[in-house]
Chain A
């Protein structure tokens, strides 16, 4: 995924600061720290989008799924309508993290501690909206299905009648 087409690795390192351990942010974008992908952000603050991406991973952590898929799952919140509630929700998340002695949500080093922060706001509409949205936002991306081994439709390949519908060996 490269939503910021002109971004080179050099530009990126020049203009960005680390946000958590995996992401970097700069003016109007969030990117992987190795510059493998970048996401342009127009309405939200870059730091808000980076926090949202981390939050998405902490809600549904899959170590085999790269950040870019979490970014794709939440990039829809970067709109004029969502801006208000999302900035507000992320501010509340940061306040909850600070209240627990961390510099911010993103600066919280251990997943365990971030999850504790999330638990403290689990019943908020903001948390529930982000969580609920991820169910389709994350798991309905065809590109993540192979990570789970899921093969998707099989009609175009003639079904599994000759392709292992009963190929289990261990029972």
Chain B
């Protein structure tokens, strides 16, 4: 007959409301923890999402063995030609090999507004460069003309940097480069890059070899990949390694992902200790200021467990309020976007 949860919820809720400043501060502390944690998860998930969309499953990237990024990598023209002529490489509708020999250079560009310079990737690509990345769409203007000093900029660059409107000229490597168009890479890492003609850029930056090359496999299966890998390893002229494009980009940013996760979890742990102590003090004060009320409830016939449930409910309600506020703020974070697309542009963050 006598139920242990008989103390009405209105009693619990109104006690929280009566001490609303304390309640708000405590819930705020809890909200902060939830917010930090949720934001870290979102950043990490966003990063992984970006990386996956950056790569095509049947594309492989070839770099110099042991280099972690395209910036560090180098492939000589001879090596590039040997790999390009391998039978595992797909042929395009035009009968040409589906290969893009690329050069990757970092330059510093002024951001809009603050005018602070930030690192940007310039990627010189072959004629097949865009065809190999079907997620890239022309958003404005037209593609750069091969053999000319024209460049295209990704949508993040177009939004965030000065002098990147179609028709503007950017000055780097002792040359003026005309922006011929904008491309949209669907939220992938290429959105934070500037693309131009590989040979033009190599001349301007005085490079002899390429940085990397992208190859479309004739067959996406692992057997083809392994065959190509085996042949590359067996050839003494080749000092390269190959990876699927998706794997390549996610490996590249694994360090960043780990960093974000560790930083986030550390912050979350520190904040949650603080928030827990805060919540404990609040609940302790809540109990000690109501000793007489607890005595009255007990005298009226409420069991020890009933009173305990009421205070548990109070702390749960407090936690729930904090959690919901934290999640609400965290979900606002989806409107904030960082171009944390890869390690080189981490300076953007």
- Same complex: no
